[in-house]
Amino acid sequence: MSNQLEQLKKYTTVVADTGDIEAIRRYQPEDATTNPTLLLKAASLPTYSHLLQEAITYGKVHGRGNTDMLHNATDKFAVLIGREILQLIPGRVSTEVDARLSFSSRGTFDKALRLIDLYEQSGISKDRVLIKIASTWEGIKAAEKLERQGIQTNLTLLFGFAQASACADAGVYLISPFVGRILDWYKKSTGRDYAPHEDPGVESVTQIFNYYKSRNYNTVVMGASFRNTGEILELAGCDRLTISPALLEELEQSNDPVIQKLDASNPQPVVDGHSLAETAFRWDMNQDAMSTEKLAEGIRNFAADQVALEQTLAALAKA
């Protein structure tokens, strides 16, 4: 019998949640995603030292002052890693906007254009890139504008139904609900463990998936941030699942059968949703403690990793 990873690929497009070129080469995913945390990890690997130096050189040439140099260098490094990944996969790579811009529609929009421009300068067309944006109201509005200009987006740090509903209304290409981080919150809040079939993160993604399919939204649902393979297997049939190398290896080592749990052609009925104006979105988020807390935490952590990456580049620039 095929291993679980091979079986899963029959139902779901598998995406590698890593910036590690060797892991991508091994598991041969359709797409790949990166974020500031993964880029910071990549920056510590000798394999990418030449890309760091290329990014620093670019930042020095194009930057005006130290801060501008670092912003240019980190943007360039993200694109260089993305370019390397795209040489190994047939699909797309997701590249994330600086989390410190999460509450600025204009800043997010401008940074997205900058990243796309850097990709095009590297010979990569925009149709092979997804711009990752935090699922704040401002981020969703920036994504809506980018989509109208033919730049497709991946709305990340998504934890609740209000975010998913607003993303669908905005016509974003793809959302990344964070399954494992939802589980983390509920485990801490309730003090109990959850079996995969009752996992709050799994239940959230299942609800969103069925809502989208029953309403014929085109937005792709890509479960992310998994804590165990049980969560992954409970979402077999989801449009896409982005999975870390450690969990890809676990799936590869098991030959247990994989059963399709989600079916786009036969979605389960869900409570009918509604379009959200800004005030309704903010109120729904305010009433959802888990989504509000995890969104804020995720933005803080990604911003901290972005700063750490800039510090790494700054130290190398002085060496």
Catalytic residue numbers read 132
Encode pLDDT of 148-169 as tens digits: 999 999 999 999 999 999 999 9
Nearby residues of 271 by Cβ (< 8 Å), 6 or more positions away: none
Least confident of 31-40, 99-108, 160-169, 266-275: 266-275
Query: What integer is the mean pLDDT of 19-29?
Result: 88
Write down the mean pLDDT value for the chain.
Answer: 95
Residue 94's nearest CA partner among 73, 79, 77, 109 is 79
Tell me if 189 sits within 8 A of 236, measured CB to CB.
no
Q: What residue ranges define each of the domains in the chain, with the CATH number in brackets?
A: 12-318 (3.20.20.70)
Residue 270 in this model has a pLDDT that exceeds 80: no
Per-residue confidence band for 271, with pLDDT thresholds at 50, 70 and 90: low
pTM: 0.94
Encode pLDDT of 272-306 as tens digits: 666 789 999 999 999 999 999 999 999 999 999 99
